[in-house]
Structure 1
Amino acid sequence: MPFIDLETNLPKGRFTEDFLQKLVSATAAALGKPEDRMMILVKPDLPLIIAGSSAPGVVLSVAGLGVTDTAEKNRENSSKIFPFLTQELGLGEDRIVIRFSPLEPWQVGKKGTVLTYL
């Protein structure tokens, strides 16, 4: 159950239902997870500075069980996600930052318990 949070200073209008579906597909494929397990949250219109500039940019946070727990996995994940974001949002790689965080089953709640017990 990967969690994808996209925070950006781009306007809300850039994030259509079509874009969201493409983001689900691209991140699910990159992480090797089924699309119906993806959790996507987009936060547009935020004040954002990357490398000293408030030019359009994105911070993408990726957290998941077993998909973000090594440098090798995250290098591969990054190489698959960056092309999607640069193409779909028209941003250069220097305007995108991806933050990877590993999760453990006891850190995710669902159905009144945590994944450890499901």
Structure 2
Amino acid sequence: MPLVTLVTNVPKEDMPEDFDDQFISAVATAFNKPERAVVLELVAGAHIVRGGADKHVRGAHLMVAAGVVVLNAEHNRGYANKITEAVQRLLKIDKDHILITFHGLEAANVAAKGETFQHILYAHKLEQSKMEQE
């Protein structure tokens, strides 16, 4: 379940009307996950300033969180490439002004529906084991 926070100085009104759908689709494709598994938190029109001569350019910072099993040096490079391409295409931001940070999540530290993923995964494995024994 990729969780993406996208902070950009691009105003919401300058984004494609279907930005959310297109971006979620791109992330789902990058991670080979169904779209329903992707969560996007969008902060548009943020105050982002880049130091130096080009400090008032379009920019974006993305924080991508996913399971520690999914994130690693080899895979992150592919994710970064696909996500950067989507941001460039959809928001017209130069790749030099796109920063992505990846955060690995332990199953015990993430919860949905009132249960941690560690408990959900354990219950699922237990159920599969019972079905295999029958």
Using the size of structure 1 for normalisation, the TM-score is: 0.90
Q: Residues 29-48 of structure 1: matches in 2 within 5 Å?
A: 29-48=29-48
User: 1:10 matched to which residue of 2?
Assistant: 10
Larger radius of gyration: 2
**What one-letter code is carried by the residue in structure 1 that aligns with 2:58?**
P
Alignment: residue pair count: 117
In the alignment, structure 2 segments of 5+ residues that lack a partner are 121-134
CA distance in 2, matches of 1:35, 1:76: 18
User: 1:93 matched to which residue of 2?
Assistant: 95
CA distance in 2, matches of 1:14, 1:106: 39
In the alignment, structure 1 segments of 5+ residues that lack a partner are none
Using the size of structure 2 for normalisation, the TM-score is: 0.80
User: 1:80 matched to which residue of 2?
Assistant: 82
CA distance in 2, matches of 1:51, 1:107: 35
User: 1:67 matched to which residue of 2?
Assistant: 70
User: 1:21 matched to which residue of 2?
Assistant: 21
% same residue: 33
Residue 91 of structure 1, CA deviation: 1.1
Residue 31 of structure 1, CA deviation: 1.0
Superposed CA RMSD = 1.4
**What one-letter code is carried by the residue in structure 2 that aligns with 1:6?**
L
